[in-house]
Structure 1
């Protein structure tokens, strides 16, 4: 019985070859099946992994057990991005298996965080020829043994810039094809104006209510830039920079009068009207002399003449610069200073004349420097 047990144990012992993802080793085992061998050797098998022979198959001495782990790669299938699983050893095999049925399959090489190029995480080919399409020419190389994308590009003497794209596919003759598309970049700018400010400064050479532009304002310019990258037919724009002012705005400076206007001088009393006999007092018929005009009174004809000079006698007129209104060309500020509301050009002629008389009584004829001088009022 002891001898028989030894014979049975010897029959149960096997020596097999185990190949896991290309790493092959010789294993001694008493396992009766492929699944038992994998459990014994702590080889975990996922639902997408490939195992040969079938895990339920009995294990015989001298067998070769092959395990290929599935991995997920992102591919472009007929122009649509997909994540697909493969147990192929090389990118070329994966593309060829996905491409059955006339589908066009490509795989984009990835980039590292610093922008440098990385190869795919699996070899591109294992000793097969590769066409490198770059800068308008096709270069065929045949690496010895396994080679990644970067190895193939080195063999073709091709260097990559950080903006270049690399895509792996197959050519018309089913040869693996690595296509390099050069990226181009340009800096585009956006310019916009910078508004200017208006400041006021007191000026004792101007009367209160008078204003004068001392320095004309001018807008500035500011600019910001964004990097645009074009790869093939695709173009993308980076985030725009902060604005940088290239021309500073020039502030407008306005002088504002602070000098008090002189008090108005009373008008000279009117001379008495001569009598019918030519004397300066009384008349031959005994009637009284014509009374003189009250002190400070101004004839209505004077205001009509002033209005005609200032505005052509049009109570609704507004100056071309929009600052002066009505019969006597009031500014809005001056109009408000004598109790007016709204716009002077919207008030009645009577109100405009009344407030002009108030202004003259307060500040004199200098409020209308040109026309008052022309009419001999000062």
Structure 2
């Protein structure tokens, strides 16, 4: 704790109050002397050097009264410090400090120092505290607080876009203002808000403003104008940005397979419902201080597009046993064909010029429809024969033996394909697209 310099008391027997000119003379003589009294807690009893109070309790006295660095010379008949302060309208709280003590007797030419307590938010080694100090300015406060920890700063209170401290920064000295990668220098006798205004530094609701020693703030001689001493105190403005960042994640769709007794088991699974991936949107709140990420927290995560499950249908219907090779069949044109139904179909298709890829399409189409069985019947739809005519009686236009003669069925089926789709590959493409032809 820094005490007030002792003063040699002066006694006077002149009960008359000093003239205005005398008061001003004493005031000018003493105003340059600055007292530093840093303390916390209740009203102090820090004694100043005083002489004997005998016989002077009610004498006329000239007293220099210093209240938070503002000094004025007053005259009084008060016998003690308490009476002087009451006379001058100086009210004290339990956090204030006065020297000498409240009940100390007053001598002529006495000095009375009052320091009011101010509540400050301080950060010591990364932890914030609320403390009461009687320091005159931030420089004195930091000097005292450095006894509690190595990394100390005063945290400014905020009122929207205004930053405030209840004490001056550094009376009579310059201070550094560190902001946006720059260092400015301003008069520290102003309050914090005025210093920021002088250097054209604006702050928003999120920005952090603190006061530290220039050393702790990293201010070096190369940061200030040439010929300017490095200030002891620095105002540090940290730009805080809080942003919402959205990211999306893919939700893979599921696949399920269902069975159908209406579909042949040797056919590939058929897609009933096409699958589609979904999407999840994640929102994170990212906080940066001077461009450096200090916090990255997830604030929400929700499915913005639901996935669609892919549904496949696998047949369980068994293919009928291959029939005994039929006798040579004769078409309505009188042509005779021999071999299996497939072979007859290939011969009759070739007669139309449908070979190569067209035969491949025809073979695949009727394998799917009937397995080339001329007696294949679909009980649910009534389709019949190799081409699965619906109804089967339509094939009577190709011959009355349509129920038993594969050549008749094939002839009708080839005419149907030529008339409706132009070629077997046209019919096959339609069947692939919609499941029938």
* Normalised TM-score (structure 2): 0.44
